[in-house]
Chains A and B, each alone.
Chain A
Amino acid sequence: MTELSKSGAAVGEPTSTSPAPSAFLEVRDLKVHFPTDDGLVKSVDGLSFQLERGKTLGIVGESGSGKSVTSLGIMGLHTAGQYGKRKARISGEIWLNGTELLSADPDEVRKLRGREMAMIFQDPLSALHPYYTIGQQIVEAYRIHHDVDKKTAKRRAVEMLDRVGIPQPDKRVDNYPHEFSGGMRQRAMIAMSLVNNPELLIADEPTTALDVTVQAQILDLIRDLQKEFGSAVIIITHDLGVVAELADDLLVMYGGRCVERGPAEKVFYEPRHPYTWGLLGSMPRLDRDQQERLIPVKGSPPSLINVPSGCAFNPRCPYADVPKDNVTRTVRPELTEVGDEHWAACHMSQEQRERIWTEEIAPKL
């Protein structure tokens, strides 16, 4: 998102006095809006979810659905820097381990960032500084949060590089990012983000830029590290295969909002939102017999400036006319519970969706 780099951001209004939640991470009604010349871009528009330690949440959606903006919002990275007059407007609550981040002092958040929560970015080449060695960058990340001398920190850096599977870590620690291959850079990034044992790790499209064989290595690594460190992981991707590998819970985003959320098995096997059906139908699958045809979602993703009224998905939804009174075009559907811990935002009744899924969609997949 280019808007991101241009706009600084304001810390949201110190919000309601609702009690601290018991969950490790809880996001309540998060909104991130960017004012632009063309209008207000509602990148994230009312998102809520929870995540426990040791669990993995997968966030899926198309480009522009607000996945990355959400992750940057949690990390508090919209507030960093202030270029020009425009700011991101952030509201809602983000509770991490009993601390509300949006109303907290920026210095407080800075202490948490890196130590309590860390992020793996999509493109390691642009996320690593080309001018410093890999070692220097990891050492810096470590010394900000730990009062140790450079030698100890470097030892720690070598240890981390070794842990993420970089051969000859004691030599490679002095290499520059351009001397690493794509997969190794991503490993180095992971080493850097884990150097402080963060409890929350956000991976934003960690494998999109990588080949499948390297992707398999990295996914394996993330899984093993999570077991070892017991962190909570948010994995953001557009690849349903990747989330199926890693995620315990799944959150499907469309037009800045959550359209379906639930345990991964539920969302994959009993999806209750037409957009999720669309995603599942669009994918050619290796584990099934050859499909005759893919079932794409018609049209293209909505503009976040003019999000369609009513259900944001209604112009692309083949079932938009199923609910009566044109309600899909006028009323925005709220998330309703459709099963155990399984939520979906759709105007169709439970029975209608269940029938459509089992009779019309599932047989074709």
Chain B
Amino acid sequence: MSVPAQSDGATLTQDAAPGETLLKVTGLQKHFPIKKGLLQRQVGAVRAVDGLDFEVRSGETLGVVGESGCGKSTMGRLITRLLEPTAGTVEFEGKDITHLGVSGMRPLRRDVQMIFQDPYSSLNPRHTIGTIVGAPFRLQGVEPEGGVKKEVQRLLSVVGLNPEHYNRYPHEFSGGQRQRIGIARALALKPKLVVADEPVSALDVSIQAQVVNLLDDLQEELGLTYVIIAHDLSVVRHVSDRIAVMYLGKIVELADRDQLYRSPMHPYTKALLSAVPIPDPSRKSAKSERILLKGDVPSPISPPSGCRFHTRCWKATEICRTTEPPLKELRPGQQVACHHPENFADQAPQETVLLSDAKEAAELVPDAVLEESAETSAAVAEEVEAEGSAENRTEGSAESAAEGTTEAAEGTTEGSEESTEAAEGTTGAAEGTTEGSEQSAQAAGESAEAAGTGAAEESAEAAGTGAAATAETATTDESPAKEK
């Protein structure tokens, strides 16, 4: 299918090449104030989104999963700027759109479109399909080649609807067809980024598959970039390239699809995956694999201190209660915010005493899972030890550098050195620091990133010691690497 060029190309910018960053989000927050009393004084805030960092690359599909109330829909509304962020920045194609006003956003509305969850409430019942799908042209003052009507009919046929239904009203269509109308409307202006908030959850299974396939095809044909927000983990796996798992306003894990599903590292991800009922009756008795979480998600008005998952986690220790784990790349393409990740070396091995909450939670976790997780962690640790023995001195120096900072910094730095990428990493780090011998925080950050962990930077941040400590860590890395 070819898309006819639009006559009005006033805001046409250079399309981002596939793989380039299309949308970049840093420290994004949204707090909804809670007001009380006659004077409507603010007494608190619902911290719906509380510090998100991620980017969306051109041409990919980023899936966002999490339980209800974790802030995933708010996130979707923030990046489409239907809501004003409380803090942080949203950059679209390098342009800061965080606080653009209505008129400032208007040209961008063409490039960023949204598909809504409920196909019943997102279409105006008094408008015909033609008016609904043609509205974007009218609002943006675009005159498509051959006229609006022709273009709308073409869009209808693209999404698999009969173009002759141009004059019908939404109530004459079924749920699946309505969702297609919503998709046609979103595609009218040939957007670059489409944010779909639960696009299939209101649909029947057989229709769900039709819409999922349609989204797939459209992405291929039009080179769209999607952010798909959903709670159904099997649908998200099917459509996404990368997946972000959210819990109480934070991303706890962000990873490539296959990595995430094969070896989830955050305990919450693991629990979430194990909770999905598998349509295979022979596994009915395989209850042993299921991790039950105790209780409910805590309130986002007063989220738990430290790691927000510690109240329901079976691995939580004191550090989880006191220190918030930073989101860092432990494996290439897999960012995790956890002190005690699954399927990986422990990030805070000195912490062994479980919280009482964790002991309770562990009772709900089948023994088989605990054993298996201990095994994999041990295996990873061994592997790391074998590979990392050459770097023993590096490790030592890194530790000494981190001395004096808090436990968190120590734990994470150590973890970063232990990582399997340590060998290449150190060389990278050395390069990084020699280049940036001014020892700017940025150079240190770069080197740390090159080490495949980004830990040095973040651990320092967590410790609150700032860039100086990071630079120091990185410099100490330099010497043994050079010797090598």
Contact = CB atoms under 8 A, between A and B. Distances in A.
Contact of A296 (B174, B206, B272, B287): B206
A284 B235 contact: yes
Contacts of B282: 265
Interface in A273-292: 278-287, 290-291
Interface in B238-264: 238, 257-258, 261
A216 B272 CA distance: 10
A219 interface: yes
Given A283-B234, A284-B235, A63 B281 contact: no
The residue in B205, B213, B216, B234 that gathers the most chain A C-beta atoms within 10 A of its C-beta is B205
A238 interface: yes
B210 A296 contact: yes
A301 B204 contact: yes
A287 B293 contact: no
A268 B234 contact: no
A212 B231 contact: yes
A212 B284 contact: no
A293 B212 CA distance: 9
Given A213-B271, A216-B275, A220-B292, A281 B209 contact: yes
B68 interface: yes
B101 interface: no
Given A211-B68, A285-B234, A296 B207 contact: yes
A243 B231 CA distance: 19
A244 B281 contact: yes
A182 B67 CA distance: 12
Contacts of A212: 67, 231, 233, 272, 275-276
B442 interface: no
Nearest to A181: B296
A296 B212 CA distance: 9
Contact of B205 (A182, A214, A247, A283): A283
B213 A286 contact: no
A264 interface: yes
Interface in B205-245: 205-210, 212-213, 216, 231, 233-235, 237-238
A241 interface: yes
Given A244-B280, A268-B281, A183 B296 contact: yes
A296 B209 contact: yes
A217 interface: yes
A16 interface: no
Interface in A245-261: 245-247
A52 interface: no
A112 interface: no
Nearest to A275: B206
A216 B290 contact: yes
A300 interface: yes
A288 to B, nearest CB: 9
Contacts of A246: 284
B295 interface: yes
Nearest to B293: A213
Contact of B280 (A63, A213, A220, A268): A268
Given A213-B293, A241-B276, A286 B261 contact: yes
Given A286-B261, A294-B238, A301-B204, A268 B279 contact: yes
A284 B212 contact: yes
From B174, B210, B234, B279, residue with most partner A Cβ within 10 Å? B279
A10 interface: no
A215 interface: yes
A244 B283 CA distance: 8
A301 to B, nearest CB: 7
A238 B276 contact: no
A242 interface: yes
Interface string B463-474: 000000000000
B295 A294 contact: no
Q: Which of A214, A284, A287 counts the most B-chain CB atoms under 10 A from its CB?
A: A284
B279 A244 contact: yes
A244 B277 contact: yes
A285 to B, nearest CB: 6
A167 B296 CA distance: 11
Contacts of B176: 300
B397 interface: no
Contacts of B272: 212-213
B296 A286 contact: no
A153 B235 CA distance: 45
Contact of B206 (A62, A217, A239): A62
B279 A294 contact: no
Interface string B165-191: 000000000101100000000000000
B273 interface: yes
Contact of A293 (B67, B213, B292): B213
B204 A295 contact: no
A57 to B, nearest CB: 13
Contacts of B233: 212, 286
A215 B277 CA distance: 9
A262 to B, nearest CB: 11
A296 B177 contact: no
Contacts of B296: 181, 183-184, 214
B234 A244 contact: no
A246 B206 CA distance: 22
B284 A245 contact: yes
A298 B234 CA distance: 21
A240 interface: yes
Contact of A216 (B237, B279, B281, B292): B292
A294 B204 contact: no
Contacts of A183: 296
A297 interface: yes
Contact of A247 (B67, B207, B280, B281): B281
Contacts of A240: 205, 279
Given A220-B292, A300-B174, 20 more contacts: A167-B295, A183-B296, A211-B68, A211-B231, A212-B67, A212-B231, A213-B293, A220-B287, A240-B205, A241-B276, A245-B277, A246-B284, A268-B281, A278-B206, A279-B205, A279-B206, A284-B209, A284-B212, A285-B279, A286-B273
Interface of A: 62-63, 167, 181-184, 211-217, 219-220, 238-247, 264-265, 268, 278-287, 290-291, 293-298, 300-301
18 contacts: A62-B206, A212-B67, A213-B271, A213-B293, A216-B275, A243-B279, A244-B281, A268-B279, A279-B206, A282-B206, A284-B209, A284-B234, A284-B235, A286-B237, A286-B278, A287-B278, A300-B176, A301-B206
Interface of B: 67-68, 174, 176-177, 204-210, 212-213, 216, 231, 233-235, 237-238, 257-258, 261, 271-284, 287, 290, 292-293, 295-296
Minimum-distance CB pairs A-B, first 5? A241-B277, A296-B209, A282-B209, A284-B238, A297-B206
